[in-house]
Structure 1
Amino acid sequence: MVVAVAIAAGTVAGCARDNDSVDLQSYVDTIEPADVLYNQGLANLNAGDLREAQRKFNAVDRQHPYSEFARKANVMAAYTSYKLGRFDEAISASRRFVELYPTHEDASYAQYIIGLSYFSQMPEVTRDQRDTRLAIQNFNRLLEGYPGSIYEEDAKAKIRAARDQLAGKEMQVGRYYLERREYAAALPRFRLVVEDYPTTRHVEEALARLTETYFAMGLASEAQTAAAILGHNFPDSQWYADSYALLATGGLQPRQNAGSWISRATQNVLNRPAGG
């Protein structure tokens, strides 16, 4: 009986060793050259098979961690995460790459992916704009750290879009207070748009809302200045027509006060109002 048990135990041990050998050989057989894995990942990415592409890129890093293809695969894996909507994962991987290889030829692309990931998460204008600000911040890092990169123009366009979003948020809050006649709370929102976001599409309405707010507060000179600058820069605007009509109800006309903060804020961005 003892002999039988010993023989059985030896048989099991032998099988285990055989299985280990098979598993090890199977593992060895699955290792592929770094360039092959990387190109397979690109092919899968182009074919729209994002999950398989990411698996291939991760395999490059796992099997050839110190190769140049591994570094390139890291960036492509981050981009694949972005395409899959795994934005936190894409940001984390891209940020790690930029920190480890700031002078690598793909570092600008990794920084671009960070900006894209935040940009893709920008919420509706009624919600908190944290991701919008982070998109601007990271696109600016791209422009400052990698001037002249092929992503520069798109980054600039997205910064403009994100700044327009922030201006829209200020307008939304300002209108909220204005509708409730809380003029002291509304005023700084419209002022911020004129001072910080004068090149956005919201500046036209902001000047009209400043006219309305100052007029309601009895600050005629500031109301007239806002309307004058609005009229000079957007003479055919309905906002200007409404502002002109509003002033007329108080016997006033648009007239610029050169000492107003509105004049100082707009003189280098909008056209200088003539006369006044």
Structure 2
Amino acid sequence: MLAACSGNDDMPDIAADSGEQQIYDQAQRYLNNRNYSLAVRSLQALESRYPFGKFAEQAQLEIIYAHYGAFEYEAAVEAADRFIRLHPQHPSVDYAYYLKGLAAINAERDFLSRFIPMDETKRDVSRSKEAFAEFAQLLSRYPDSPYAADAKARMVHLRNLLARHEINVANYYIRRGAYLAAANRGRYVVENFQRTPAVPDGLAVMAQGYIFLDMDELARDTIEVLRLNYPEHPALDRDGEFRTTFTLEGQQRSWINKLSFGLFDPPKPPQFNYRPQAG
């Protein structure tokens, strides 16, 4: 790693009289050797010296990949935006959309997350939403693109991630005693993330929130939907009834909570994190 970092500070050896073809070939050598930082600088030099040359458009496209390979994800997104804006009819513009989506996903991750397993659903997901939108544009505009299949698979993963993130937020609201906000988050998952593994938790957290709010009819209706569609959910007992451990009655309430009639120091019931196995 130290050797790689020190190499990134080296400037590419580009002579003042280097021709367009020579600089482009040098950039290709850097790309082939995975020396992406030097590839970026070579491609930048090529575009700077020959902005209307025969390799100008190709250099603008390849610099997106070079930034991505150098872990410069923000720069890759910016380079992809620029290419799409300047060359919307380019035959490889679908590649720019694809790389922009990949860069957006990775821009959300910090250095440690590349080496230490972390739950992505508990982190900021703004970049995941951006990546989902880019892949969606790719599929909408270029359904026959060679990158379409992978983009679609990544959208499935991102959709599951975004749905699970909403459940984590709902769990946080439950811990804070914001039961209506929790129920609304659960309903949002059920309505907007159908066919994701988070839907049963969305129903369960809705029921939990309604129970805490004494909205008995809504709670019963939601539990019935959960019972009919996900009878194995851990929030349900063997008889299909909502477990008391997920209700206020099943919690140990502090004297502060009792004296304040539930306004302060709310009990902290178990959280929903049910992830059924595929198949």
TM-score, normalised to structure 1's length? 0.70
Match of 2:233 among 232, 237, 242: 237
Q: AA paired with 1:156? A: K
Q: AA paired with 2:186? A: F
What is the Cα deviation at residue 155 of structure 1?
A: 1.8
Could you tell me which residue of structure 1 aligns to residue 163 of structure 2?
167
| Deviation by residue 1:217-253 (Cα, 9 ceiling, x = unmatched) | 3333332332333233333332444893426899xxx
Q: AA paired with 1:27? A: A
Give the conservation status (yes or no) of the 8 Å contact 1:211–1:222: yes
Report the 3-state secondary structure (helix = DSSP H, G, I; strand = E; otherwise coil) of the residue aligned with 2:55: helix
Give the conservation status (yes or no) of the 8 Å contact 1:208–1:243: no
Q: AA paired with 1:83? A: G
Task: Report the RMSD for the aligned CA atoms in angstroms.
Answer: 2.7
Q: Which has the larger radius of gyration?
A: 1
Cα distance in 2, alignment partners of residues 81 and 237 from structure 1: 45
Which is further off, 118-127 or 107-116?
118-127
Cα distance in 1, alignment partners of residues 239 and 39 from structure 2: 57
Cα distance in 2, alignment partners of residues 73 and 167 from structure 1: 38
| Deviation by residue 1:144-163 (Cα, 9 ceiling, x = unmatched) | 23232111122222222222
Which is further off, 215-224 or 169-178?
215-224
Could you tell me which residue of structure 2 aligns to residue 31 of structure 1?
19
Cα distance in 1, alignment partners of residues 169 and 25 from structure 2: 50
Judged with a 3 Å threshold, the aligned counterparts in structure 2 of structure 1 residues 38 and 32 are, in CA distance, closer, same or farther, namely: closer
1:189 aligns to 2:175 (yes or no) = no
Report the 3-state secondary structure (helix = DSSP H, G, I; strand = E; otherwise coil) of the residue aligned with 1:218: coil
What is the Cα deviation at residue 140 of structure 1?
A: 1.9
TM-score, normalised to structure 2's length? 0.69
Give the aligned length: 222
Give the conservation status (yes or no) of the 8 Å contact 1:45–1:53: yes
Unaligned runs of 5+ in 2: 1-14, 110-119, 248-279
What is the Cα deviation at residue 76 of structure 1?
A: 0.8
Could you tell me which residue of structure 2 aligns to residue 13 of structure 1?
none
Percentage of matched positions with identical amino acids: 30
Report the 3-state secondary structure (helix = DSSP H, G, I; strand = E; otherwise coil) of the residue aligned with 2:74: helix
Cα distance in 2, alignment partners of residues 242 and 178 from structure 1: 25
Give the conservation status (yes or no) of the 8 Å contact 2:186–2:206: yes
Report the 3-state secondary structure (helix = DSSP H, G, I; strand = E; otherwise coil) of the residue aligned with 1:211: helix
Q: AA paired with 1:79? A: Y
Unaligned runs of 5+ in 1: 1-25, 251-276
Give the conservation status (yes or no) of the 8 Å contact 1:224–1:247: no
Match of 2:57 among 71, 87, 95: 71
Give the conservation status (yes or no) of the 8 Å contact 2:74–2:107: no
What is the Cα deviation at residue 193 of structure 1?
A: 0.8
What is the Cα deviation at residue 191 of structure 1?
A: 0.8
Could you tell me which residue of structure 2 aligns to residue 143 of structure 1?
139
Match of 2:86 among 77, 93, 100: 100
Judged with a 3 Å threshold, the aligned counterparts in structure 2 of structure 1 residues 240 and 157 are, in CA distance, closer, same or farther, namely: farther
